[in-house]
Amino acid sequence: MSWVQSCLRRRRQKTSKSLEDLPVEILLNIFEIADSIPTLRSAAFVSRHLHDVANSLLYRHIELRHVHRAVFLLSTLVENPELGRYIKSFDCSALPSRCHFPDFVARSFDLRTSDLAVHALRKAVGLTSLVVSVNVVDLNPAGWVKLLEGPIELRKLVLCGRTLAYGENVDASKRKEWTQMIAHVLKAQPSITELQIEGVEPYDSLPRLDPTDLPNLRILAAPTVSALMLVLRGGHRPLRSLTLGDDVSMKEAQDIIFDLIPNGAAVEEFTWSGPTMIKRFSFPTQDWSDSLAFLSAVAVKFPNVRKVLLPMGKGVWKKEEDEGGEWLLQTVQETWVEEEVEEERGVFERDLNPLGVTHRCYP
């Protein structure tokens, strides 16, 4: 009888499988279906195998919105650079240029967010999407240039240049340093297909990209003429979508931007960035002759563009589908300001749930 029981026991041991016995691909599918940060956190502490699988999802897409969480997470990545291999997209654009953060020993740190991000991403060789704000006043361009000249191959890049205080003047040397850094980065990243740059202010001589730079660029968003000239001048970028900012007037677009895009037939979207909310327009109450004249020029330059959001509250216009169709006004913009709500520190302390020295906080 004992021999039979022994055989049955061995049979059960051979046929029974634990979660760790499953292939990595199946475990990834299970965790993705669960779609729960607490579940992934718990799985990371089960075993070394599940720890690696869970971390590949926990750190895949990082979007930092709160200062205290960001400092914990970036510190974790700095102390554990091997975690960077899991990162596919990284967004720290909502953080302030500097983080004033008191640690647990009552000391205070004044951290530059962009510098901390550079150190955190030094092993992120699989990074394909980067959204970051850089402080132009005390910019350290060498770190970003070195990072993006490495093995990283970006598909999407958003660079926002800003100052520490609203309205703070930036001298010409800092503007030039920031703009030259952008040019170096764009030259080092030919794989970029989607690009947005902000904070490029005019100065005497903009750097010029080579005609072979940015061969895969398809989507461009730039709020100023200087930013557009930096990217488009000197090459034939195969754009499909171009978004301008309100600082670019319709006259500037027609006089300058049109000439920078030789192949207008390839462009399918040409528009201005608009506000958050839009309301429907019922009765025309102003003269739209200047808008219609500009839209006629758009139809000639960009024959495949069917919808345009014009600047300065001049509405959203759509072109009729039939050949030689007219432009029709659909909506006008309504100003909408979204209030920023600052969370109390107590919320961070309850939600952080510190995970030890090497894993202080997951994204």
User: How large is the average pLDDT for residues 264-272?
Assistant: 91
Residues 6+ away with beta carbon under 8 Å from 289: none
Residue 172: per-residue pLDDT: 74
Mean pLDDT, all residues of the chain: 76
Alpha-carbon distance of 264 to 298, in angstroms, equals: 9
- With H, G, I as helix, E, B as strand and everything else as coil, classify residue 108: strand
**Which pLDDT score is estimated for 221?**
94
C-alpha dist (Å) from residue 114 to 97, 109, 125: 7, 15, 18
State the residue for tokens 């009729």. 320
Reported as a single tens digit per residue, the pLDDT across 159-193 is 988 765 444 566 777 888 888 899 999 999 999 99
Does the predicted TM-score (pTM) go above 0.85? no
Query: Is-contact 83 58, C-beta < 8 A?
Result: no
Q: Establish how many alpha carbons lie within 13 A of residue 180's alpha carbon, considering only the half-sphere containing its beta carbon.
A: 13
Q: Strand order of the sheet with strand 269-272?
A: 61-63, 89-91, 129-135, 156-162, 194-198, 219-222, 241-244, 269-272
On the question of pLDDT at 348 being above 70, the answer is no
What percent of the chain stands above pLDDT 90? 23
Higher local confidence (pLDDT), 32 or 343: 32
C-alpha 143/C-alpha 133 separation (Å) is 14
User: What mean pLDDT do residues 256-281 have?
Assistant: 76
Q: For strands 278-280 and 327-333, give the pairing.
A: antiparallel
* Predicted confidence band of residue 283 (pLDDT cuts 50, 70, 90): very low
How many CA atoms within 13 Å lie on the side-chain side of 119?
15
Of 359 and 33, the structure prediction assigns the larger pLDDT to: 33
Q: Which of 12-21, 86-95, 345-354 shows the lowest per-residue confidence on average (mean pLDDT)?
A: 345-354
User: Residue 108 pLDDT > 80, yes or no?
Assistant: no
* Whether residue 261 has pLDDT greater than 80: yes
- The pair of structure tokens assigned to 318 is 């759509």
Structure tokens at 308: 């345009």
> Are the beta carbons of 167 and 139 closer than 8 angstroms?
no
Contact 70, 63 (CB under 8 A): no
Distance CA 69, CA 62 (A): 11
**pLDDT at site 279:** 46
In this predicted structure, the answer to whether residue 15 has a pLDDT above a threshold of 50 is no
Which pLDDT score, from 0 to 100, does residue 111 have? 67
**pLDDT at position 344:** 37
